[in-house]
Structure 1
Amino acid sequence: MSRRCELTGKAVQVGHLVSHSNRKTKRRFLPNLVNVTLQSDALGRRVRLRIAAASLRSVEHRGGLDAFLMKAKADELSTNALTLKRELEKKLAAQ
């Protein structure tokens, strides 16, 4: 399982650990990934996702999982979230 947010695409970044003597060694900046269960109002079910903690705030800011997925770009989403977005689009088109 990759260390990547399923909704925003936030992933591991690489940088330097700089010592007092200004030596630089490689280090990794890991995203704060959490396993969450979000409720989809349109689909009427719960969805388990592995997202960054900052993404959880973005989901709440946009008005829930359904609104976030409708505004999200397809290239940022994981395959799991992309299939969820397609289901959501079909459900909303049927109504």
Structure 2
Amino acid sequence: MSKVCELTGKRAMFGNNVSHAMNKTRRRFNINLVKKRFYIPEEDKWITLRVSTSVLKTINKKGISAVIKEARANGHLKK
């Protein structure tokens, strides 16, 4: 399973580890994903999503319905 947020489409970034001698080796900056269940009162059902922790803060602020509506408009979430 890939490390991609299902609501925002955030992915891992790539960069370099740089030593004191300026040697560069490739590395990944992974995102912080959690598997979380959400209740959607409009549809009267539970859904399970893998979302980044930064999106959890957004969900707490805006509400799950508004965030899912935005994700569907941006094409990140299937209907």
The TM-score normalised by the length of structure 2 is: 0.88
* Structure 2 equivalent of residue 68 of structure 1: 67
Whole-Å Cα distance in 2 between the matches of residues 70 and 51 of structure 1?
A: 15
Moved more, 38-47 or 64-73: 64-73
Q: How much does 1:74 deviate?
A: 2.6
Matched-pair contact (CA < 8 Å) for 1:74–1:82: no
The 5 A counterparts of 1:3-82 are 3-62=3-62, 64-72=63-71, 73-75=73-75, 77=76, 81-82=77-78
Q: Which runs of 5+ in 2 are unaligned?
A: none
| 1:51-85 alpha-carbon deviations (Å, 9 max, x no partner) | 111111111121x211112233333x1xxx322xx
Percent identity of equivalent pairs: 33
With normalisation by structure 1, the TM-score equals: 0.75
| Structure 1: 5+ residue stretches without partners | 84-95
CA distance in 1 between counterparts of 2:12 and 2:70 reads 24
Q: Give me the CA root mean square deviation.
A: 1.2
- Structure 1 runs (4+) deviating above 3 angstroms are none
Query: CA shift at 1:16, angstroms?
Result: 0.5
Write 1 or 2 for the structure with the bigger share of helix. Answer: 1
Report SS of the residue matched to 1:58: helix
Deviation at 1:18, TM superposition (A): 0.9
Please state which structure has a larger fraction of its residues in strand.
Answer: 2
How many positions carry a matched residue from both structures? 78
